[in-house]
Amino acid sequence: MRHFAIVGSGPAGFYTAEALAKAYGDSARIDIIDKLPVPYGLIRFGVAPDHQSIKKVSGRYEKVAESENVRFVGNVAVGDAVSVEELRGLYDAVVMATGAPHDRKLGIPGEELAGVVGSAAFVGWYNGHPDFADLDPPLDAGHAVVIGAGNVALDVARILSKTRVEFEGSDIVGHALERLMGSSIETITILARRGPHQIAMTPKELGELGRLEEAAPDVDAADLPPAETDEALEDRGLAKSVGLLRQFAAEPQEKRKTVVFDFFARPLRIEGDGKAERVVVEETRVEGGKCVGTGKTYDVPSGLVVSCIGYSSPHIPGVPYDHAKGRYENDEGRIDEGFFAVGWARRGPTGTIGTNRPDGYDVASQIEEAMAVGSDGGKAGGEGLDSLLCERDVAATSFTDWRKIEAAEEAAARAGSPREKIVDPAEMLRILGH
C-alpha cells in the first residue's frame, strides 16, 4: 500500500488526486487536506460568483472525492495543526497544492492606506472567504481604481459594475451583494502599465464588459496601435481581445457607470488624508515590450484601489520558497524526494483552471515512476494523521461533512441563487455538531 497526501483542495490538488487514484487503484490511499472545512479552493473562493459555468468543474472533483481510495480531510492547517515534516513521515509522497492565495505587493508609497486592497482580499470578500469577511471596502467615493490588465482586473471591474438583476443566478455572498448595491462608485479606472497589445485579458471576459446593463467600457482610440499591427499578434486570443478594445473605442455607449481603460499608466503612489483619495500615475511608453516612464504624471481620483497584479503561495515551514517567484522552489514539480508541488504552488499564478490538469497528471506520473504501483512503503498514512489530529484535538471534516454544509448553504440560498455560502468556519462546525 502507498499513502499520498495532497495539501490543498483546489483544482491542482483534485487533478493530482484524480491521476493518482486512477494510476494506483486500490493499492494507494490519497488524503486531500485543506485548512478550511470546505473543499475546492480557487473554484469556491477565486472564480467569479457570476461565472457559475466555470464553477461546475467541481462536479468532476466531487467524483474524485467520492472514490474509494480518496479522502477529503478539511479544517486541518498544514504548518499549524500538523507540520510538513510530520506529513512527510506519515506519507510516501506529499504534494503541495496550496495555490497562491496571497496578494503580491505593489511596492509603492501609500499602499498601506485604508481603501487600498489586493484582489485576493477583495475577491475573497465577495466570494465568502472566511479570512476576508470583514474587509469592509469603501464603496462610497464615486471612483475606484483597479490596477492590472489581467482577467482578475476584469472580474473586479465587472463585479463593481453589475446590477442586482445581473447578479441573479450567481452565488455572490449576501453581505457583499448588499454593500455593492449601495455603492456610489460610478467610475472604475483600469490602470494598465503597458498598452493594448500587452494585455492579459481573454476575449470572453473582456466581451462581458461591453454588455453590462448600467456600465459601459471607455477606450481612447488614441491608445490603440494601428489596426494592421494586430495581424502580427501570434496569440489569436489576444488579437480577438484587442479587436474588442477597438470596438469599445469605435462604439462608445452612454451608461450610468463607466469602466475606463487607462493604458500606458503606471501607478507611482497612492495619496490621501489617512485613506486613499487618488492614485498618482506616470504615463509610460512601451519599448521592446517593456514599460518605460515618461516622467509625465497625473492624478486619478479613487476612494477604493484594488491591485490585481498577481499572487504568491503561502510560506509554510519545511517548504523551500522561491521569493522572486512567490512560489515553492521546485524542479518540474519536484521539491525533494517524495515531495512535490503542483498548480500555482509549482508554476506561479498563471494559466486557466484546465492548465492544472496536465500539471497534476505529470506529478502523479513522477510519483508512479519512483514508487511502483503495488509496492509498499510501510508508512502509517491517514491512520497516522488521524491519531495525530485526535491527540491535538483538531476536528477534521470529511466529504460527508461537506455535503451537510453544502445542503445548509443550498437551503439558505436567495431565490435563483445556487447557495448562500456560510462564511464563518465556526458556524460550519456548529452545523456538523463539532
- C-alpha grid cell, residue 128: 465568502
Tell me if 138 contacts ligand NAP by CB under 6 A. Answer: no
146 touches ligand NAP by CB under 6 A: no
Rounded to whole angstroms, how far apart are CA atoms 342 and 363? 7
Supply angle C-alpha 135, 304, 166, rounded to 5.
Answer: 80
Whether 21 contacts 66, CB under 8 Å: no
Q: Which of 8, 41, 101, 310 binds ligand NAP (CB under 6 A)?
A: 310
What sections of 211-290 are H helices per DSSP? 236-250
Span from 73-81, 198-206, 208-216, 411-419 in contact with ligand NAP (CB under 6 A): 198-206
Binding mask 352-371 for ligand NAP (x = CB under 6 A): x-------------------
Q: Count the site residues for ligand NAP by CB under 6 A.
A: 23
- Give the integer Cα–Cα distance in Å for 366 and 196: 40
Name which position in 18, 166, 205, 401 contacts ligand NAP (CB under 6 A): 205
Contact string 259-298 vs ligand NAP (x = CB under 6 A): --------x-------------------------------
Asked if 98 interacts with ligand NAP (CB under 6 A), we say no
Are 282 and 294 in contact by the 8 Å Cβ rule? The answer is yes
Half-sphere exposure of 123 (CA within 13 A, CB side): 31
Site for ligand NAP in 34-53 (CB under 6 A): none
Residue 307 beta carbon to ligand NAP: minimum distance, rounded to whole angstroms: 7
Say if residues 144 and 306 touch (Cβ distance below 8 Å).
yes
Residue nearest to ligand NAP (CB): 150
Q: Is 206 an interacting residue with respect to ligand NAP (CB under 6 A)?
A: no
Residues 6 or more apart in contact with residue 163 via CB below 8 angstroms: 213, 214
Task: Report the DSSP pairing between strands 265-271 and 278-287.
Answer: antiparallel
Least distance (Å) between residue 199 CB and ligand NAP: 7
Contact call for residue 149 and ligand NAP (CB under 6 A): yes
- The residue type of 226 is P
At 324, phi and psi to the nearest 5? Answer: -65, -35
Q: Which of 39, 130, 217, 349 binds ligand NAP (CB under 6 A)?
A: 349
- Asked if 383 contacts 50 with a C-beta cutoff of 8 angstroms, the reply is no
244 binds ligand NAP (CB under 6 A): no
Interface with ligand NAP (CB under 6 A), residue from 20, 147, 259, 422: 147
Instruction: Give the interface with ligand NAP as residue ranges (CB under 6 A).
Output: 106, 147-153, 155, 193-194, 198, 200, 202, 205, 267, 308-310, 349-352
